[in-house]
Amino acid sequence: MSAEIKEKKHELENIVTDYKYGFKTEHKNLKDTGKGISEAVVREISAIKGEPEWMLNYRLKAYAHFAKAEMPSWGPDLSEINFDEYTYYIKPSEKAENSWEDVPNEIKDTFDKLGIPEAEAKFLSGVSTQYESEVVYHNNQKELEEAGVIFMDTDSALRQYPDLFKEYFGKVIPYADNKFAALNSAVWSGGSFIYVPKGVKIEKPLQSYFRINTESMGQFERTLIIVDEGADIHYVEGCTAPTYSADSLHAAVVEIYVRNGGRCRYSTIQNWSSNILNLVTKRAVCEDYAHMEWIDGNIGSKITMKYPACVLKGEGAKGTTISIAFAGEGQIQDAGAKMIHLAPNTSSTIISKSLSRNGGNVTYRGTVEHGKKAKGAKSHVECDTIILDSLSKSDTIPYNIVKNDDVTIQHEATVSKVSEEQLFYLMSRGLTEEQATEMIVMGFIEPFAKELPMEYAVELNQLLKLEMNGSIG
């Protein structure tokens, strides 16, 4: 990098400071693969990680598919993506840490600003924090170990539990699923791996914090969760990213397998900075009487495309998605849910709350499919939208596909502006217009917020207040 470019870069970094979590910690990257993607880059990533042959081959097949796959054309315009501009692998430190004391100071500093250690004390039973591409801090508490729960970064899981890993990896979301799933499959790094043994119920949520900390760096974490028969787990993933001046790409894959009678709840609030393209594939497969719940919040990023899916393949399986999407200035939130009913008496619920303001564009895009064998299946879809000003946009695009005649689908949708009567009512008790609007919006997303662990609900509240600031007047 020339001195001039370096200086320019430094300047830009100083300019972009208005984002709440827009601080950046200096940290020396030990290894990266440089800009751009090729078969050689994929081989290098696999070599750095010292992976088994099958994973290298999997990555290479995925890369080949990625190279020829079309960009999705049915959603937001992604033509600005230039795959040569991203760095696909950066390693921040030599190996994953298991004790907070050993974590490098710069990284600690970043997490301190996010309040991770305090959060852990109260709510967490395990922490796995992703910093750039590799998990650096990892702490399995005793309780988890004693229960036989495996909770570690995905790279370590590949080394330590090769058979279990191979049995499930790429089964829920094959690399050929879509272009970005293929990209992730080729260059994935980090993410969480969770295995919950039969009958084990963990009440406290397991939590991971993700954070991008290098400019123009794609983050391609790969999460794999296996909930064995009758087991029960709640996993919380949180994202806040510093602001950078060049676009960053986040293309994650989350695969979840819920065996007979198991239950898994996956909660996340993404608050990527406003330059991030967030293109994520999340899917769960549910066996007989298994229950999958996606609690999915989308507040940040420039463009998000995310439709958590439940494949209800076992009899009586149940899928739930409760989501919010908030699009502010320059943001496109294209989010929703998919419920694929493949077995009798399966049921699903989708509750989606969308908000747009300051020219933001929010779309609910969802699919409910009832296959031939899904006799007696039921689904309920509720999507509500508030548009906060006349600059902003919202669309509701529900697909219902029904292939048998014994199903029930309820679909409700509302679109409204902040009601003048509600505003008048709250203001007549002394709240300013801004306070009143904020209160109405917080009430609107309450069905989502109440599903979150308390500290996340508080954080969501603060994030939305920041987003709402200056929206009135």
Partner 1 sequence: MQKPVLTISELHANVEDKEILKGVNLEIKGGEVHAIMGPNGTGKSTLSSTIMGHPKYHVTSGTVTLNEANVLEMSVDERARAGLFLAMQYPAEVPGVTNSDFLRTAMQTRMEDGKDVPLFKFIRELDKNVEKLEMREDLPHRYLNEGFSGGEKKRNEILQMLMLKPNIAILDEIDSGLDVDALRIVGEAVNSMRSENFGCLLITHYQRLLDHIKPDFVHIMMKGRIVKSGGAELIEKIDREGYDWIKKELGIDDERVIVEEQKRKVTSIGTCATKEMLDL
Q: Minimum CB separation from partner 1 for residue 120, in Å?
A: 27
How many angstroms separate the CA atoms of 325 and 22, rounded? 21
Shortest gap between Cβ of 427 and partner 1 (angstroms)?
4
Q: Which residues contact 146 (CB under 8 A, 6 or more apart)?
A: none
C-beta of 210 vs 307, nearer to partner 1: 307
Nearer to partner 1, 243 or 394 (CB): 394
Inter-residue contact 198 to 167 (CB < 8 Å): no
Strand partners, 365: 336, 397
Nearer to partner 1, 136 or 324 (CB): 324
State the nearest-atom distance from the C-beta of 422 to partner 1, in Å.
Answer: 5
CB of 401 to partner 1, least distance (A): 15
Q: How many CB atoms lie within 10 A of CB 469?
A: 10
Q: Among 250, 262, 316, 256, which Cα is nearest to 282's?
A: 256
Nearest approach in angstroms of CB 437 to partner 1 is 11
* CA neighbours closer than 13 Å in the CB half-sphere of residue 274: 13
Beta bridge partners of 417: 387
In the complex, the smallest distance separating the C-beta of residue 310 from partner 1, rounded to whole angstroms, is 21
- b/e string for 311-337 if b means 16 or more Cβ within 10 A? bbbbbbbbbbbbbbbbbbeebbbbbbb
Amino acid at 109: D
**Least CB distance from residue 400 to partner 1, whole Å?**
9
| Cα 328 to chain centroid, rounded | 19
Identify which of residues 106 and 434 has a Cβ nearer to partner 1 in the complex.
434
Of 97 and 438, CB closest to partner 1: 438
Give the residue with the Cβ less far from partner 1, 54 or 424: 424
β-pair partners for 340: 311, 369
CB of 443 to partner 1, least distance (A): 3
Residue (24 or 411) nearer to partner 1, CB: 411
DSSP conformation class of 92? -
Q: Which is nearer to partner 1, 289 or 364 (CB)?
A: 364
Half-sphere exposure of 391 (CA within 13 A, CB side): 11
Q: How far apart are the first and last CA of the chain?
A: 45
Backbone dihedral angles phi then psi of residue 320, each to the nearest 5 degrees:
-135, 135
CB 166 within 8 A of CB 247: no
Smaller CB distance to partner 1: residue 199 or 443?
A: 443
**In angstroms, what is the minimal distance from the CB of 369 to partner 1?**
16
**Apex 186 CA angle, 183 and 191, nearest 5:** 85
For CA atoms 61, 272, 334, 401, the dihedral sign is positive
Local structure of residue 145 (DSSP, 8 states): H
Q: How far apart are CA 278 and CA 262, in angstroms?
A: 29
CA distances from 399 to 154, 338, 411, 453 (A): 34, 9, 11, 31
Q: Cβ of residue 201: shortest distance to partner 1, in angstroms?
A: 28
Task: Give the residue with the Cβ less far from partner 1, 150 or 351.
Answer: 351
Residues of the shown chain interacting with partner 1 in the complex, contacts defined by CB under 8 A: 396, 398, 411-416, 419-422, 424-433, 435-436, 439-440, 442-447
